[in-house]
Amino acid sequence: MQPEPFRIKMIEEIRLTTKPERIRLMKQAGYNVFQLKIDDIYIDLLTDSGTSAMSDKQWAAMLTTKQAYAGSNSYYQLEKIIHEIFGFKFFVPVHQGRAGEHILFSTIVKPGQIVPNNSHFDTTQANVKFVGGTPMDFVVDEAYDPEKISLFKGNMDLEKLENFVRQNRNKIPLIMTTITNNTVGGQPVSLENIKKTSQIAKKYNIPFFIDACRFAENAYFIKINEKGCKDKSIREIIKEVFSYADGCTFSGKKDALTNIGGMVATNKREIFEKIRDMLVITEGYPTYGGLACRELAAMAVGLQESTTESYLQYRHEQVEYLWKKLHKAGIPTVNPVGGHAVFIDGKKFFDHIPQTQYPSQTLAVELYIEAGIRGVELGTSCFGETDKKTGRMILPKLDLLRLTIPRRVYTNNHLDYVADSIIKIYKRREKIKGLNRVYAPPLLGHFLAKFERI
């Protein structure tokens, strides 16, 4: 196992509350972990987004940045590294991934159009809908078989995609692929699959964009698991991945190892000019894009650090460490391990709780009460929709609890505690009842939803 390729220079204290406190806090939060305060959480596995520990080099770069409305030095540092790593001609910085999605979709998606993706993430899905489009997922069927061990379960189903594109060519403004595929468990997408998706897009003359949030983690999976790739360097793999695309959206809060930031990049001048105009209206001038210039510097350095093999090996092995512990103990995990998180199949974990009673949300609530650990539901609360005609809930195929590992933040001792706590809950699972949702706003409802215990 690759030990941490860094030493710890600064620490942050965490506090374990008592169980009666947590019961009260959870009730007060409407049984929604998004409503908890960080000071009341012992181990926070809500997200890997914006939660990375930054390096001394990132902090140093932030301090030496010259803040400027136009022409900051950090913009040019970032431009250089984006060009080097991704190879795109044009880019705009944005304050986070969803701002990039909004800018891109509001310039190229028209009402009534359809956006195919392997799997949309919740913000991507919401941003397509927000401009009147319809997001559609074409991930391979095996992605919906959580326990099956198979490589590249995040792949696009190429046959389904092409059949659909052939019949709906005029309604498709762009095709996307999300790497890694967060919605189905952080599963990777193969180089071959990205290449073939790009060929379909080219054949029908449709722009092909990558949701690149976890591009470095995806490249590591390609290196270790894809035929013919083990001797390629991480940077070579990344270059090849993006050589197949016309552009990407990116949240720097993941694989740029920063707490905020993102970008949209493209080779297509006409798209770039439109997104740049929209950027100026919604985010800011193109050399800062809604960020303090120091954040651009942190992204520039973070991108270099996240694309080294020793870092990626450590990162992958730490996530795998938690997965192995849970898998060995018989917990129904999504298999194999994803890139940034361990996912638990809530429907299997609580096979007595119907999906309409939010099994994975129930597990999130129990985990907090048991041990002060915050995970997040990616399932019925997050992706479930209400049928406009019948008013009934359309249930998503997967109902998962995601234990997301922040980058360079926790040690394996923390992860042992997480595994032991989940195993404890599993042993008493039959006594646990589900939840009723009593409130949810229409878009991204899970952030603000309220529940009651049954």
> Taking CB under 6 A as the rule, does residue 318 contact ligand PLP?
no
Which CB atom, from 252 or from 434, has the smaller least distance to ligand PLP? Answer: 252
Count of helix runs (H) and strand runs (E) in the chain: 16, 16
15-23, 59-67, 92-100, 379-387 -> range binding ligand PLP (CB under 6 A): 92-100
Rounded Cα–Cα distance for residues 180 and 178 (Å):
6
> Taking CB under 6 A as the rule, does residue 302 contact ligand PLP?
no
In 3-state terms, what secondary structure has residue 265?
A: strand
Which CB atom, from 49 or from 357, has the smaller least distance to ligand PLP? Answer: 49
> Taking CB under 6 A as the rule, does residue 98 contact ligand PLP?
yes
> Taking CB under 6 A as the rule, does residue 197 contact ligand PLP?
no
> Taking CB under 6 A as the rule, does residue 127 contact ligand PLP?
no
**Class of residue 341 by CB neighbours under 10 A (exposed 0-12, middle 13-18, buried 19+):** buried
Tell me which residue of 236, 155, 154, 162 sits closest to 202, measured CA to CA.
162
Number of residues that bind ligand PLP (CB under 6 A): 14
Considering the complex, what minimum distance in angstroms separates the CB of residue 338 from ligand PLP?
A: 11
x/- letters, 217..256, toward ligand PLP (CB under 6 A): ----------------------------------x-x---
Which CB atom, from 72 or from 182, has the smaller least distance to ligand PLP? Answer: 182
Paired residues of 404 in beta bridges: 341
Dihedral class, residue 30 (left if φ above 0, else alpha if ψ from -120 to 50, else beta): left
> Taking CB under 6 A as the rule, does residue 402 contact ligand PLP?
no
Among 55, 113, 125, 182, binds ligand PLP (CB under 6 A): 182
Among 207, 262, 332, 338, binds ligand PLP (CB under 6 A): 262
> Taking CB under 6 A as the rule, does residue 185 contact ligand PLP?
no
121-129, 297-305, 349-357, 367-375 -> range binding ligand PLP (CB under 6 A): 121-129
Considering the complex, what minimum distance in angstroms separates the CB of residue 211 from ligand PLP?
A: 5
Cβ atoms 419, 400 nearer than 8 A: no
Joined together, the tokens standing for residue 151 give 């490589």
Rounded Cα–Cα distance for residues 425 and 451 (Å):
20
Among 118, 124, 361, 421, binds ligand PLP (CB under 6 A): 124
Among 86, 121, 152, 220, binds ligand PLP (CB under 6 A): 121
Which CB atom, from 49 or from 266, has the smaller least distance to ligand PLP? Answer: 49
Q: Taking the CA atoms of 268, 274, 279 and 280 in sequence, report the sign of the dihedral they define.
A: positive
Residue nearest to ligand PLP (CB): 97
> Taking CB under 6 A as the rule, does residue 49 contact ligand PLP?
yes
Joined together, the tokens standing for residue 312 give 């990626």
80-88, 96-104, 240-248, 284-292 -> range binding ligand PLP (CB under 6 A): 96-104
Which CB atom, from 182 or from 190, has the smaller least distance to ligand PLP? Answer: 182
Joined together, the tokens standing for residue 230 give 């083990």
Cβ atoms 53, 408 nearer than 8 A: yes
Q: Please report where in the chains the tokens 């095996």 appear, as a residue.
A: 142
Considering the complex, what minimum distance in angstroms separates the CB of residue 214 from ligand PLP?
A: 7
Rounded Cα–Cα distance for residues 187 and 202 (Å):
25
Cβ atoms 169, 204 nearer than 8 A: yes
In 3-state terms, what secondary structure has residue 453?
A: strand
Q: Please report where in the chains the tokens 């991507």 appear, as a residue.
A: 124
Among 72, 96, 258, 357, binds ligand PLP (CB under 6 A): 96
> Taking CB under 6 A as the rule, does residue 178 contact ligand PLP?
yes
> Taking CB under 6 A as the rule, does residue 213 contact ligand PLP?
yes
Cβ neighbours for 281, distance < 8 A, ≥ 6 positions apart: none
Rounded Cα–Cα distance for residues 120 and 138 (Å):
9
Could you count the other beta carbons within 10 Å of the beta carbon of residue 452? 12
> Taking CB under 6 A as the rule, does residue 339 contact ligand PLP?
no
> Taking CB under 6 A as the rule, does residue 52 contact ligand PLP?
no
Joined together, the tokens standing for residue 222 give 């390609």
Among 211, 217, 295, 399, binds ligand PLP (CB under 6 A): 211
Contact residues toward ligand PLP (CB under 6 A) are: 49, 96-98, 121, 123-124, 178, 182, 211, 213, 251, 253, 262
